[in-house]
Amino acid sequence: MKLREPVAQVFGKERAVLYEAEVEQLAESNHSKRDLVDFLETYAAPMGVFYTLSMLKRSGMSIKDLKEALGFLFDPARTITKMLRASLPVGSRILDFGCGVGQLTCALALRGFQTYGVDISEDALRTASKLASKLNCRAAFYLAKKNKLPFPDEHFDAVLSFWVFHEVRKDKLPYVIEELHRTVRRNGQAFIIDQEGIAKFENIKSLMKHYGFKFHSEKTLSPAYDHGKSSRAIVLAFTRKQQKSTGLSSSVSA
């Protein structure tokens, strides 16, 4: 595949292998692999030129900030690994909540962490498993069902959620946070990474506190681009407190 090398050069090995895995999965459904590859190699680059020009015009971002934003979006592991290593020893057991197609989960596994990905999409998890196989990494992937995570209590040293919380329905978020609290060890850490202006950070902080997490910090990780607008990628850091969750029966201001 001609696009594999340029993708790897700009967005890293994991993204390049993910490109191959997604092409293969799409070809297994309803496309000829040859036709699909030919189409991408003919149209992707020239289409990308006009799309990128549009991003610069609509967002008003500098070239430097847009490069950083796209690098973070398509290869977040570089920045996130640095952040995690400042707080966790290599070898720590991490849950990637809402792992999607598994790029970040696999990247962290290849960088020395024990990583487990969980998602509600069976299709995304099939791609994630294919990616892990191609990368020869030990990331494990699981399906979440009925607001429950398929892990025992206090199983993880840390939980990580990247670009997911703004997608969770308001009425489901308390269940999500209670399960994160249950599955991370006491004094373990939680990192919620999402987009400023899209994710409701104050509501997330309030719910995390209510369900047994102590808020530590809020930091900017990178510029962000979304639908024509410039923004910032923010990480909220928490620690799981000693006491158990207060439970869903308590009232929470949403």
pLDDT at 127 over 90: yes
- Is 192:216 a contact under the CB 8 Å cutoff? no
Average pLDDT, the chain: 92
Give CA angle at 79 (73, 81), nearest 5°: 120
What pLDDT is stored for residue 168 in this prediction? Answer: 93
Mean pLDDT along residues 188-210: 96
Mean pLDDT along residues 219-232: 93
Q: pLDDT of 236-251, one tens digit each?
A: 999 998 665 445 444 3
CATH superfamily of the domain spanning 70-240: Vaccinia Virus protein VP39 (3.40.50.150)
| Contacts for 41 with CB less than 8 Å, ≥ 6 apart | 1, 2, 3
What pLDDT is stored for residue 187 in this prediction? Answer: 95
Domain boundaries, the chain: 4-60, 70-240
What pLDDT is stored for residue 251 in this prediction? Answer: 37
pLDDT at 213 over 80: yes
